[in-house]
Amino acid sequence: MTVERLIRIFAGAFILISLALGVEGSPLFVSKWFLAFTAFVGLNLFQFGFTNFCPLGIILRKLGVPDAPASCAR
């Protein structure tokens, strides 16, 4: 498992969880404010696409998770 894959997994999981907790029709609904967390994760992914800076990536690298080899085509 590489840093980029784990970032995508974490982001997807956080978005799904915060949607489940923030949408009124959900059986897990807590508060609409959880949708703000969904927006925060989306904005982080957006800026990561342009700047290649991600705080989670820094944490994962410090924990020893390897980076993916630089390659466009696999």
HEC assignment per residue over the chain: CCHHHHHHHHHHHHHHHHHHHHCCCCCCCCCCCHHHHHHHHHHHHHHHHHHCCCHHHHHHHHCCCCCCCCCCCC
13-71 pLDDT per residue, tens: 999 999 999 999 999 999 999 999 999 999 999 999 999 899 999 999 999 999 988 76
